[in-house]
Structure 1
């Protein structure tokens, strides 16, 4: 598929797709017309990248865990993963856990507030 189609299906812009490629997060081939061509696998990869970026991971951290993105469960891919990658992932996990805790507290506070509003409205 071409870049525009990939971008639309992944919820990204063509510029973002080119950025991911420039950062080494995805690859493309060139068709006879010299247009970039992407596989269906790349569509899934771009969606994963966008989710990880939205979660707050940097492109550098994402590039470090790319071997794990191929098979996040079983079998786990160990090739290319360094001690630095493990440390960075631990830090990212801890940072995400903190964000989740804050979001959960905010959600609970809003739920409590809504309960009070409903009780007073009735």
Structure 2
């Protein structure tokens, strides 16, 4: 299938699909006229890429994870503990970013005189 059809079937822009190719996440074959040609499995691959990107991972991490994805839910095979450790580290980074945003919101609320939620506890940072 050509890039336009892949875009329609996945809901991902053609520009993004080209970017995925630049990042070595997709490897279409080229027709004699230079057009990209994707096989049917690419639809699943693009969906996996979208899931992984939505988890906050960069394309280099996605490139490492894709080979370990065993089904459409991107459940990772247990054969790569380093990858699982890396994902745990990424999760801790995201948790820290969330904590920082909550702390910032708490300070902002206090600056604008918004009543603080009595259930909320001031961040420990």
Residue 22 of structure 1 is matched in structure 2 by 22
**Pairwise CA RMSD:** 2.7
Gapped regions of structure 1 (runs ≥ 5): 103-122
Partners of 2:58 and 2:43 lie apart in 1 by 19
SS in 2 for 1:56: coil
1:92 aligns with 2:90: yes
Partners of 1:8 and 1:69 lie apart in 2 by 23
Residue 34 of structure 1 is matched in structure 2 by 34
Alpha-carbon contact 1:70-1:77 (below 8 Å) kept: no
Structure 1 residue 95: Cα displacement: 4.9
Gapped regions of structure 2 (runs ≥ 5): 100-125
TM-score, with length taken from structure 1: 0.64
Residue 120 of structure 2 is matched in structure 1 by none
Q: Do the aligned partners of residues 35 and 70 (structure 1) sit closer, same or farther apart at CA in structure 2, a change above 3 Å counting?
A: farther
Aligned residue pairs: how many? 96
Residue 4 of structure 1 is matched in structure 2 by 4
Structure ranking higher in helix proportion: 1
Q: Do the aligned partners of residues 77 and 17 (structure 1) sit closer, same or farther apart at CA in structure 2, a change above 3 Å counting?
A: farther
Structure 1 residue 73: Cα displacement: 5.2
Residue 112 of structure 1 is matched in structure 2 by none
TM-score, with length taken from structure 2: 0.63
Say which structure, 1 or 2, has more relative contact order (CA 8 Å, 6+ apart). 1
Q: Do the aligned partners of residues 77 and 88 (structure 1) sit closer, same or farther apart at CA in structure 2, a change above 3 Å counting?
A: closer
Alpha-carbon contact 1:3-1:37 (below 8 Å) kept: yes
